[in-house]
Structure 1
Amino acid sequence: MKNILIITSYYPPETGAASNRIFHLADGLQKRNFNVSVITPLPNYPTGKIFNDYKGEFKHISTEKGVKIFRLWIYASNSKNKVLRLLAMLSYSFSLIWFFMWNKIPKTVIIQSPPLLVAFTSVLFLGSKQRKIILNVSDLWPIAGLELGALKKNFSYKILEYIERFNYNNADLILGQSEEIIAHVKSIFPKKETFLYRNYPDFSPPEIIQKKISKEKLTLVYAGLLGVAQGIYKLIKHLDYSNIEFHIYGNGSEQDKIKSFLNSNPNLPIFYHGEVARDKLHKALLQYDVTIIPLLNRIYGSMPSKIFEYARLGLPIIYFGGGEGETIIKDNALGCIAKPGNYNDLNRIIAKIKPFEIDLELKQKIKKTALKNFDFNTQLNHLVAHV
């Protein structure tokens, strides 16, 4: 049985695409006869506060579904203050260094990036000829930070670029969740071994509900992180509600602003349902006609995992983010595309969709496509050959 360590900043009981991705990777490797261990901070995302069950602990060790999990101390914060956010990353990096000093580390290590600084710490202290370093790149920082407006091209940006290149250069294998990420890595290190590792979900989808045909409004739903990158607050202010209802699930930094907007506009058909457990959420989503995947700005390298999850549920998708996601939607006939950042075009696209057109046959077709083309186990079996 081969030992393998995964280092990540997100893991259940934290919610979101990042924690789900690493959980399924760890679980999938364990089922394939790997002895898997995970290092992660004490749960704090996305609230920026240590979860109640872990408060007061410096380290928490548990075994969950055959995977040994080491949860290390972190100065938790989701503050917009860059100094506090940096302090949070540094605190976890120091915890990692302490762990590396006093524990035996397996010969194969998978490191999640971003955060760049956490990945840099891990690569710097663990990279050696005796150890295989696999870097799992889910977003291209610092490029993504620049496109989001969180970073500026200055001396700090150059340092982050150096860290990014150091991480790539010292990794034996780089996993990228989009073709753009792979292309970016190859543009810097043409001979680097890479592997396209999409964020495919691994769950048994519930049976699709046959919705009664009526003349009701189109029901539109979003479920996920309510952060700046997703732009849900701006979205609800620009949607045309003449013929739609909009339902929202999730939490994040824009949650309070969204609630405030709803309180100030009680007549708008917007319904906020809070955060719901994933299995219950999947069943809840089946009652809606279509889902929307928005990005406030087109982010190079970004590939929203919601595409694969929603498709597995059979939900037609309105994609409003640009980039590689558009290609996935078009090539697999998963829904329709609105021009990124163009809310007039988005409203025009939505207005063309009639509730009676969203029937059981269409949803079953989307689900069948997802089960065939976005299969987690097939992808992981290919990856295991490289590990």
Structure 2
Amino acid sequence: MKRVLIISQHFYPEIGSHANRIKQLYMQLKKESFDVRIFTSEPSYPNKKIYENGEFWDEDSLNCEKDNIVRISISNRKYSNSILNRLFYYLEVALKFVLLIIKDKRGYDFILVTSPPIFTGFVGLFAKYRYKSNFILDIRDLWPESLKGVGVFNNPLILKFFGALEKILYRKSDKIVINSLGFQEYIQQKAKIPKSKIVFIPNGAVKEEIAFFNKEQNKPKKIIYAGNLGLAQNTELINKLVPLLEKQGIQLTIIGYGVNRKELLNSIKEYKNVTIIKPLTRKECFKIIAEHDLGLVTLKDKEVFKTVLPGKIIDYMTCGVPIVGVIDGYAKEIVEKERVGITSKCDDPQQILSHIKWLLDDEKLRKEMSLREQQVILNDFNWETNIKKLVEYMN
């Protein structure tokens, strides 16, 4: 039986697409008869307190695994806009992972590491030589390109330095896994590597998560925003949309977390058409998403975000909820090609409102989109199928 070590800062029971992706990689590889172990941190995103609640520990098969899930404790837990604060956090995580690897006496056939942060990527490179193993690099975001995109860090010399480190990781890895096809050309050109070195395994769903249901008719029209309210998301647009939605009698539900959550919620708390829900488990979140008529996606208009496929697009499709997206590039291409929503590059709130009203007024079209979404998830974004690409390489 081949042995795999996964190294990831985030993992079950944390919320968010990063933790869920690694959870699925871990579980699906185990189902494929690999001996899998993970080095990760204690759950703390978006804050440690929510994991004191037992409802987040809802995967019994993982709760029983004490030997194969090794967690480090982190003293610096604060998530903020401060690049310095995040840097210290990432470095502490990386250092503790290195110490774990040095102490670990086991052997592994494959090291699978997810990035960003890039520091964890270099932990994986260290592990490759420490264990004399194959190194699989999972890329969830382009880094440091995304630093420029969110506008928190623009020092050209330091960005160039991190860009050189990024290139080393691409070249030293034995296989690169990407979660968006928008990354492929960038990575190939950046590192001058062949296309055959890259495998596309998007974020997705397992079959049991796909919601087949009939929405109740004659209920107030409701839209939802579920996911990160961070530096990449256009929270200013949501702020401007809320009063326009209220005038039209359209309900908005927000299940959000992230560094801009508090600021956004304070700015819209006076409006009666907004329902704020605290972070939930994936299962509970999906139940609520499925009760809505439309799902909202917003990204800032930056070049790097044209390469990403936001996890909430996959989540909305899994729940059969048509999409209204302020997106561009690869994400826009997916939504339009599959005909599962309406997108715009323009962040004019009046135009987005007109898109929302148009879809809310056409029940037949929404139902057609919903059925297509379910099929797209089964065909293209299904973990049970897509993991075979990685298994084929590892065998």
Q: Which residue of 2 aligns with 1:20?
A: 20
Give the Cα–Cα distance (whole angstroms) in 1 for the partners of residues 82 and 223 of structure 2. 34
Give the Cα–Cα distance (whole angstroms) in 1 for the partners of residues 328 and 67 of structure 2. 37
After superposition, the Cα gap between the structure-2 partners of 1:122 and 1:366, relative to the gap in structure 1 and judged at 3 Å, is closer
Select the residue among 137, 156, 159 that pairs with 2:158: 156
Give the Cα–Cα distance (whole angstroms) in 1 for the partners of residues 73 and 313 of structure 2. 33
Select the residue among 280, 289, 292 that pairs with 1:288: 292
Give the Cα–Cα distance (whole angstroms) in 1 for the partners of residues 164 and 126 of structure 2. 13
On the 8 A contact 1:26/1:67 being kept in 2, the answer is: no
Query: Helix, strand or coil for the counterpart of 1:229?
Result: coil
On the 8 A contact 1:138/1:177 being kept in 2, the answer is: yes
| 2:166 is the alignment partner of 1:169 | no
Segments of 5+ residues of structure 1 without an aligned counterpart are: 55-61
On the 8 A contact 1:318/1:336 being kept in 2, the answer is: yes
CA shift digits 1:319-365 (9 cap, x unpaired): 21211001111111111112243334322322322345256454234
Q: Which residue of 2 aligns with 1:57?
A: none
Q: Measure how far apart 1:128 and its partner are.
A: 7.1
Q: Which residue of 2 aligns with 1:332?
A: 338
On the 8 A contact 1:286/1:315 being kept in 2, the answer is: yes
On the 8 A contact 2:7/2:112 being kept in 1, the answer is: yes
Q: Which residue of 2 aligns with 1:59?
A: none
On the 8 A contact 1:334/1:366 being kept in 2, the answer is: yes
Give the Cα–Cα distance (whole angstroms) in 1 for the partners of residues 163 and 69 of structure 2. 31
Select the residue among 126, 146, 157 that pairs with 2:148: 146
Q: Which residue of 2 aligns with 1:223?
A: 226
Q: Which residue of 2 aligns with 1:211?
A: 216
Select the residue among 161, 185, 188 that pairs with 2:187: 185
After superposition, the Cα gap between the structure-2 partners of 1:68 and 1:233, relative to the gap in structure 1 and judged at 3 Å, is farther
Q: Which residue of 2 aligns with 1:58?
A: none
Q: Measure how far apart 1:126 and its partner are.
A: 2.6
The TM-score, its normalising length taken from structure 2, stands at 0.88
Q: Which residue of 1 aligns with 2:383?
A: 376
User: Equivalent pairs: percent with the same residue?
Assistant: 22
CA shift digits 1:39-63 (9 cap, x unpaired): 1112111227795589xxxxxxx86
Q: Measure how far apart 1:209 and its partner are.
A: 2.6
Q: Which residue of 2 aligns with 1:98?
A: 99
On the 8 A contact 1:300/1:323 being kept in 2, the answer is: yes
Further displaced range: 184-193 or 138-147: 184-193
Between Structure 1 and Structure 2, how many residues are aligned? 376
RMSD between aligned residues: 2.4
Give the Cα–Cα distance (whole angstroms) in 2 for the partners of residues 311 and 50 of structure 1. 27
Q: Which residue of 1 aligns with 2:199?
A: 195
Further displaced range: 181-190 or 24-33: 181-190
- Higher helix fraction: Structure 1 or Structure 2? 2
CA shift digits 1:168-196 (9 cap, x unpaired): 11101111112221111110233341111
Give the Cα–Cα distance (whole angstroms) in 2 for the partners of residues 310 and 343 of structure 1. 21
Segments of 5+ residues of structure 2 without an aligned counterpart are: 55-61
After superposition, the Cα gap between the structure-2 partners of 1:259 and 1:115, relative to the gap in structure 1 and judged at 3 Å, is same
Query: Helix, strand or coil for the counterpart of 2:307?
Result: coil
Q: How does 1:36-47 map to 2 (within 5 A)?
A: 36-47=36-47
Q: Which residue of 1 aligns with 2:277?
A: 273
CA shift digits 1:75-127 (9 cap, x unpaired): 32213222221111111111011111110341210010000112123213534
Further displaced range: 73-82 or 92-101: 73-82
Select the residue among 348, 371, 374 that pairs with 1:367: 374
On the 8 A contact 1:176/1:196 being kept in 2, the answer is: yes
Give the Cα–Cα distance (whole angstroms) in 1 for the partners of residues 271 and 63 of structure 2. 46
- Give the AA of the match of 2:231: V
After superposition, the Cα gap between the structure-2 partners of 1:187 and 1:128, relative to the gap in structure 1 and judged at 3 Å, is farther
On the 8 A contact 1:38/1:67 being kept in 2, the answer is: no
After superposition, the Cα gap between the structure-2 partners of 1:250 and 1:67, relative to the gap in structure 1 and judged at 3 Å, is farther
- Give the AA of the match of 2:94: S
After superposition, the Cα gap between the structure-2 partners of 1:49 and 1:160, relative to the gap in structure 1 and judged at 3 Å, is farther
On the 8 A contact 1:249/1:274 being kept in 2, the answer is: yes
Q: Which residue of 1 aligns with 2:58?
A: none
After superposition, the Cα gap between the structure-2 partners of 1:84 and 1:36, relative to the gap in structure 1 and judged at 3 Å, is same
CA shift digits 1:203-227 (9 cap, x unpaired): 512332332146x4x3111111222
Give the Cα–Cα distance (whole angstroms) in 2 for the partners of residues 63 and 277 of structure 1. 15
On the 8 A contact 1:294/1:320 being kept in 2, the answer is: yes
